[in-house]
Amino acid sequence: MPALDIDGAFQASPSSPPPRPPSPDVPRRNSFVARSVSRSLSWGGASPSLEKLEMRAQRIFGAKLGELQDPLMEADDMEMRTALQNALAALEETFLVARLTIALYSYLGLGTQWTGKLLRLILYAMLLLPGFIQMAVYYFFSPRITRSIVYGAAARNRLDIHRPPANQTAPEGGFPVVIYITGGAWTIGYKAWGSLLGRRLSKHGVIVYCLDYRNFPQGTVLDMLRDCNTGIRWVLHHAQQNGGDPSRVHLVGQSCGAQLATLALITQTEQEHQKAQLPGGFPAWSPQRVQSLIGVSGVYNCFDLADHFNQRGLYRRLFDRIMSVNGRAALKLFSPTYCVKGVEWGAQLPRVLLLHGTGDTCALFSNATQFRDALQEVGAKVELKSYEGETHTSPLIENPMRGGHDQLVDDILAAVGGPEKGSPTQSPLCPAFLINAAARVCPF
């Protein structure tokens, strides 16, 4: 019998007998998939091709697609909800979070490694508490933020909008738009984590949409991608009415959020080229509407980083479940580096800017260089800018709290067409000695 490797792809041994012919149910299932695709997507009359799905799986895995179709093919019923329904949904999600926390801890176990990292995370947050308190006041009371707008029907389909100050005059066509997908190791992500970056970018004339999405164990990476696709599509449809320029939309992600943003864009570009729905590409949106992709401290090669994550406390048993399809690990399928190898549509991708610290011990800098090289090989426009000695979190959290010049904000503003002179210096949010101590205990 063929063996199932750690990435969920079948490997046939030399002595293995030839695979059995497909069962009579396969054509019926394929027919259902084709009908679902045709109902869910509009390709100008073109028929979706399951053969194209097989070609993609063969390119990424070196094996047949098997059961790697996205099971969530049908369109959501996007009914308008009343205020009472929204309140009940929020209450339901509160109870759900408690149950999911227990489920997540069952995967992490009571090992000293994870417990130690949790204690370090708590200490990290306590040391930076003066800055976090100021950000909490801004987040909950600033008139520039509209919180928890519903963008989809699934749980946690909410987003925050960070708007420029009221005294800023919008340029012709509207303000540039950033869609920001936060990190959080696929387990603790939350839209409010983007408020520090959202505050600074919006202050300099950018409208920032921070997307929330389901975390594990509430969903696997396919559910996260479905949420991100739904949120991106919502922003593309509503950017103009919220004061944004629909021709200047940029996609930004940090850590695992960079992986999700990149996968969403790659998959939309490929399925538009293939004229067939692909795993992680539902619901569809036009990749031509995005002007650039900016990855900050991103995860681009789950397959190669899996053992490294395991040593750092994101255990392989948990990681395989997060990156699974129908219960089988599919690490290469969700690794942007593998997804772009050998494609003929690389030049169709928008400009890609990768911002990464050379001292990142979580998402290693080498993983960003691999992705840059893979993009260059297929003709994509890509730039990797290294932050010498910076860690996984320092460009996003510690450095902005120090005040002064914010290199990350400047690089993003330059990419989205912000002020040519860059951002002015900022006042510190936290004493330097607390930031230095927090940097030493940071578990990421």
Among 36, 202, 255, 423, which one carries the catalytic annotation?
255
Q: Tell me how many domains the chain contains.
A: 2
7 is a domain residue:
yes
CA distances to 59, 164, 293, 433 from 342, in Å: 7, 41, 20, 49
Q: For position 417, what pLDDT does the model report?
A: 82
Looking at the structure, do residues 150 and 14 belong to the same domain, yes or no? no
Q: How far apart are CA 192 and CA 203, in angstroms?
A: 17
**CATH code assigned at 237:** 3.40.50.1820
State whether 202 and 240 are in the same domain. Answer: yes
The answer to whether 301 touches 270, Cβ cutoff 8 Å, is: no
Give the ranges where 82-220 is alpha helix by DSSP (H): 83-108, 112-127, 129-141, 195-203
Q: What is the pLDDT of residues 118-165, one digit of tens each?
A: 788 889 889 999 999 999 999 999 999 999 999 999 989 999 999 999
Q: Same domain for 272 and 358?
A: yes
* pLDDT band for position 237 (cuts 50, 70, 90): very high
Cα–Cα distance for residue pair 265/253, rounded to 1 Å: 11
Mean pLDDT, residues 74-95? 53
Task: Classify residue 73: in a domain, yes or no.
Answer: no
Tell me if residue 181 falls in helix, strand or coil.
strand
**Residue 418's pLDDT band (cuts 50, 70, 90):** low
If asked whether residues 234 and 337 sit together in one domain, one would say yes
The answer to whether residues 269 and 163 belong to one domain is yes
Choosing from 223, 360, 406, 411, which is the catalytic residue? 360
Look at residue 76 and tell me if it is in a domain. Answer: no
Q: Which one from 392, 394, 406, 423 is the annotated catalytic residue?
A: 392
For the segment 166-209, what is each residue's pLDDT rounded down to a tens digit?
999 889 999 999 999 999 999 888 999 999 999 999 999 999 99
15-69 per-position pLDDT tens digit: 334 444 444 444 443 333 333 333 333 333 333 455 666 677 667 766 554 544 4
- 255 catalytic residue (yes or no): yes
> DSSP readout, 50-70?
HHHHHHHHHHHHSS--TT-S-
Q: At CB < 8 A and 24+ separation, what contacts does 268-274 make?
A: 268/229, 269/345, 269/348, 269/349, 270/56, 270/339, 270/343, 270/345, 273/344, 273/345, 273/348, 274/49, 274/52, 274/53, 274/55, 274/56
Task: Look up the domain containing 146 and give its range.
Answer: 83-441
Question: Is residue 48 domain-shared with residue 114, that is, in the same domain?
Answer: no
User: Is 392 a residue of the active site?
Assistant: yes
Residue 370's identity, in one-letter code, is: Q
* Residue-wise pLDDT tens digits, 325-357: 888 888 999 999 999 999 999 999 999 999 999
Query: Do the Cβ atoms of 59 and 70 come closer than 8 Å?
Result: no
Measured distance between the N- and C-terminal CA atoms of the chain, rounded to whole angstroms: 41
Is the model's pLDDT at 76 over the cut of 50?
no
pLDDT at position 188, please?
87
Does the annotation count 204 as an active-site position? no
